[in-house]
Amino acid sequence: MQKPTLVVGGGISGISAALTLLDSGHEFYLITDNLGGRVRYDPQAKVNYGAYFVMGSYSYACRILTPEALLKPTSVLFHNSPEVSFPLLHPHSLARLPDLTRFFFAMRQFTSHYGPYKERCLIMPQKQALAVDPYLADLFSQPASEFIREKGFEQASADYIASFTFACTGVSPEGLTAFDFLNVSTGLIVPIYCFRFDQDALVRRLGGRLVLDSITRIQSEPGHYCLAGRSGQEYTAQNVILATPACVTQDLLGLPEIRQSCQLYVWHIRAVLKPLYRRYELNLFPPTSEIMLTARQWDGTYLVYSNTAGADLMQVCETFEILCQVAWEKAMYVQGSAYLDQQPAPGLYLAGDHNGLGLEPAAISGIFAANQIIAKG
């Protein structure tokens, strides 16, 4: 099968690339073994088993994902330990006001740099977009724990912020870069929403351009690429956007170092939570806990996230019945500062969340790759 461009991988990065090409009238196939990738929305249960929320600032990811229920700050309970917990609106927050103020100033500075960086990433590789801004470039290699110490908000971090970033990544600030920590922490200062992913509408939109297959080999030939599918089908194209998870991209291209991934485990349960955890929609736990969060769903069931396989759910439940469980052995590429070249060879583009954490950077990397191809004409 032949087209000018092949997009490999149907997660948010590949879908963003495909829709950008579609809108410009460029011919392509999107070859993937599933649509959504780490977005795994179950339309029957109306529950997300992978990525859980989008931020109000996710203008590119939300071209594909539809924000729904707003997560209210008053519905969140932060747990410091099994004995100590407090909501945001609590006298304890007043004691933390100086620390929280320093955090908000740090966030204000970060977001004023991050917005323009996002826009630059649509038209230049992330590495180049980062190099333009030394403040952001430093954050990319600085450990988050060092940044927190430097800015003087350790106590607010211990009480609130680290629980939030742990809930989003499964990693403590010791394991995150300052860049990822601040990027994720944006969810504490902008509205965040659960979302819906309409896979059927997307399948209709892509029509015959969507091919369900798994690519096992990529070979560079003069002027084009040859790809082999597990189905036995061969594909050729002048351009390839490889929007597979970083570990797959690494295997397919024999790449050197990539950022290390974390593991996440998700349980969807019908449960009676312990009284302390029943009162709030969202319980966020500290990085020392094996349970990261519990999130009440629209129908009264719960999602529980952990970074530990076989975590003991009885820590938070009185009784439970498992409705579904999903193990994400390579959930997010959050550890380290290795960078993947987004344009490693002529006509070959890499998209995904390997250089930036979460749905929005993934979407932007796909749009960037498509923009490069469209610009070639």
Strands 53-55 and 192-197: antiparallel
Task: State which of residues 202, 264, 271, 373 lies at the interface with ligand FAD (CB under 6 A).
Answer: 264
C-beta of 10 vs 173, nearer to ligand FAD? 10
Q: Give how far the C-alpha of residue 288 lies from the chain's centroid of Cα atoms, to the nearest Å.
A: 22
Residue whose CB is less far from ligand FAD, 16 or 96: 16
Q: Is 244 in the site for ligand FAD (CB under 6 A)?
A: yes
Q: How far is the CB of 94 from ligand FAD (least distance, A)?
A: 30
Q: Taking contact as CB under 6 A, which single stretch among the options 84-92, 115-123, 148-156, 243-251 is the one that binds ligand FAD?
A: 243-251
Binding flag, residue 6, ligand FAD (CB under 6 A) = no
User: How near is the Cβ of 154 to ligand FAD at its closest, in Å?
Assistant: 25
Q: Is 353 in the site for ligand FAD (CB under 6 A)?
A: yes
Contact with ligand FAD (CB under 6 A) among 331, 340, 350, 369: 331
Give me the least distance between CB of 92 and ligand FAD, in Å please: 26
Torsion of CA 209, 214, 217, 221, to 10 degrees: 0
Q: Which is nearer to ligand FAD, 34 or 109 (CB)?
A: 34
CB closer to ligand FAD out of 99 and 169: 169
Member of 17, 30, 178, 266 binding ligand FAD (CB under 6 A): 266
Binding mask 40-79 for ligand FAD (x = CB under 6 A): ----------xxxx--------------------------
CB closest to ligand FAD, residue no: 11
- Asked whether the beta carbons of 65 and 39 are under 8 A apart, the reply is yes
Candidates 10, 173, 287, 347: give the one binding ligand FAD (CB under 6 A).
Answer: 10
Which listed range, 85-93, 171-179, 326-334, 369-377, lies at the site for ligand FAD (CB under 6 A)?
Answer: 326-334
- Binding residue (CB under 6 A) for ligand FAD from 6, 7, 12, 350: 12
What tokens appear for 147 in the block? 């940044």
| Closest to ligand FAD by CB, 52 or 78 | 52
Q: Confirm or reject binding of residue 126 to ligand FAD (CB under 6 A).
A: no
**Assigned token pair, 240:** 């390839």
Backbone angles phi, psi at 177, to 5 degrees: -80, 160
Binders of ligand FAD: how many residues, by CB under 6 A?
34
Please identify which residue in 75, 111, 142, 214 interacts with ligand FAD, judged by CB under 6 A.
214
Look at the chain and count its residues: 377
Token pair of 44, please? Answer: 């029957």
For the bound state, the minimum distance from the C-beta of residue 15 to ligand FAD, rounded and expressed in Å, comes to: 7
Q: Whose Cβ is closer to ligand FAD: residue 173's or residue 358's?
A: 358
Contact residues toward ligand FAD (CB under 6 A) are 8-14, 31-34, 37-39, 50-53, 214-215, 243-245, 248, 264, 266, 328, 331-332, 352-353, 358-359, 362
